Amino acid sequence: MEGEAEAPITEEERKIVQEFNYLHEKSKQLFNGLRDLPQYGHKQWQSYFARTFDVYTKLWKFQQQNRQTLDLRYGLKRWQIGEIASKIGQLYYHYYLRTSETNYLHEAFSFYSAIRARGYFSKVNREKSPELMVKKLRYYARVIVVGLLLRKMDLVKDLVKELSRNLEEYRSNYNAEDQPEWDLVLGEIEAFIDADESIRVLDEQAVSQVQTHRLTESIVPSKDPAITSELTLQEAIIVGNCSHQVKFSELTLDMYRMLQTLEREPTLREENSTKDQGQIKRQNPHKYLLYKPSFDQFYTFMSAGIKEIPANSVLLVYLAASSCTPGKPDSDGAYDLGGVATNPKKENGENHVKRSTLLKDIHCIHPGDLYPFTRKPLFIIVDSPNAHAFTNIPNLFGQPTICLMSPIQLPVTIQDNAPHKGNLFTHFLHSPLAAFCYACDITDVPCLLWANCQAMVQKIIEEGHIQVVKSKTIDHVYKQFFSDEFLRLLVTRFIFCYGALRYHRGFKDDSYYPRSNPSLLGHDILESTLLHKQILDLASMLDVRALFLEFGEIE
């Protein structure tokens, strides 16, 4: 007996299909328009994002409410539902990148997780379509990025295994031209995860425990009542241009670490806060992430950042980059000491012309390039083999300016590992204890010992804070910046970094130590006997005291 013929489509069903088609096409149109929005500025893109969110929200709810009709009359497939969810996840992720608020990162993760949990892409392999397989591979790459940023490392490792299996299937079933590119993506992810796990904190079963390094109230010294400044960090420009450093998705390891350093750990209240973008109070400074920018790009974003910060606000610029060759070392340093590299663009044949030794490198951020931005409070961090070129940035406009600079030399083993493990100075600013262990060639630390050592590091950080606040001779700009939690933490971690490297036997002279401008030397802060004692105590806890200079061995 033949089956009954399918009933003709009703008017109501036709309207449902038409509405779905309209919302689907409108959502794709708005989503594709996102790439045309300016990358900088706040007001220019917010209304467009709001419209896009609104249409995708309607589309998502509409397909939920009319799933049966759409299955029957539209032929809606699970991978199509997954694609809508993936687009919403991408929206939240890009909104996080534009606002720096981690609650949007959690929203992105919730949609990406639903795709995996409900198996929306699980049957894509049966469709015999290379285009659909690429959608699935891209989904994995995106959720891995979000997982890395949220420090869900166990999940990330599982996702990498799944990506590897799907990539193998893609390779065996299709003779696609982009296979080498996907192999490169997988290799970058695996190298990034390996680099991030430079120190393993092990529980009693020798299982590595994930550590998070965003700001919490427990790790930052409380604002001292003597600090009357009201400066707050509002904008940050994070530049990554170190040669050959491990990276994933235009995010170098150094950028990844600094990104988290400038964010607060979300609380439960923040994670459950309203999704109305206009109602959420900013918890973190806004950040621009620039991977290997040209000089033009860097200057454009710096100009946008300085324009957007309100009164009593600070712009932070972080430069992790290879060095530019210095010119005449006997000059004032604005443009003759070199700087840090930007990404050269081969325009008008300029790279084919040998540069005169009398001319400055145009593909370089020179110290003098930052002078115009000292019209507003500026906090500079330079991690580069030529960082000390930035030592003498003048205070031209009476606004507070600080520059923290990395060592320009490191022990050979640490220097050689920088592309694979990240720069040591940034590591200290991100996780002082992990960097201390790395400098001492410690790879595994039991959980209890780690907790005890963290308490000692916190003690050193607190003491550095006290020394700065009570100092009568230190440049007053430090106290001005101490009104902000992030900047307070960065300066006190710098003090810890200096002490750790100054007393480590492997770091031989001034070129191996970080610098600051204005200098913190000569104020009994970096040279404090108590700092030396505390560094030795920490080294003793980790059984590496022999690596450090004892009292009486300091010149």
pLDDT tens-digit series, residues 187-197: 999 999 999 98
pTM exceeding the 0.85 threshold for the entire prediction: yes
Q: For 474, left (φ over 0), alpha (ψ -120 to 50), or beta?
A: beta
- Give residue 329's identity as a one-letter amino acid code: P
**In 10 A of CB 186, how many CB atoms?**
19
Residue 255 has pLDDT above 70, yes or no: yes
Confidence of residue 277 (pLDDT cuts 50, 70, 90): very low
Residues facing residue 233 across a β-bridge: 314
3-class SS at 153? helix
Residues 102, 27 share a domain:
yes
- Give residue 201's identity as a one-letter amino acid code: V
In a domain, 528, yes or no: yes
What is the rounded distance in angstroms from the CA atom of residue 497 to the CA atom of residue 374?
26
The answer to which of 127-131, 382-386, 404-408, 427-431 has the lowest mean pLDDT is 127-131
Mean pLDDT, the chain, rounded, equals 90
- C-alpha R_g of the chain: 26
Residues 389, 330 share a domain:
yes
Residues 239, 167 share a domain:
no
Full domain range(s) for residue 511: 232-262+283-348+366-547
What is the rounded distance in angstroms from the CA atom of residue 404 to the CA atom of residue 409?
15
**In 10 A of CB 24, how many CB atoms?**
19
Residues 191, 237 share a domain:
no
Counting every residue written for the chain, the total comes to 555
What is the rounded distance in angstroms from the CA atom of residue 496 to the CA atom of residue 467?
12
What is the rounded distance in angstroms from the CA atom of residue 502 to the CA atom of residue 493?
14
Residues 486, 532 share a domain:
yes
Residues 156, 237 share a domain:
no
What is the rounded distance in angstroms from the CA atom of residue 363 to the CA atom of residue 69?
59
Residues 250, 157 share a domain:
no
Whether the Cβ atoms of residue 435 and residue 428 lie closer than 8 Å to each other: yes
Residues 518, 383 share a domain:
yes
Our count of domains for the chain comes to 2
Residues 242, 136 share a domain:
no
Residues 142, 192 share a domain:
yes
- Give residue 186's identity as a one-letter amino acid code: L
What integer is the mean pLDDT of 140-146?
Answer: 97
Residues 190, 237 share a domain:
no
Residue 442 has pLDDT above 90, yes or no: yes
What integer is the mean pLDDT of 387-408?
Answer: 95
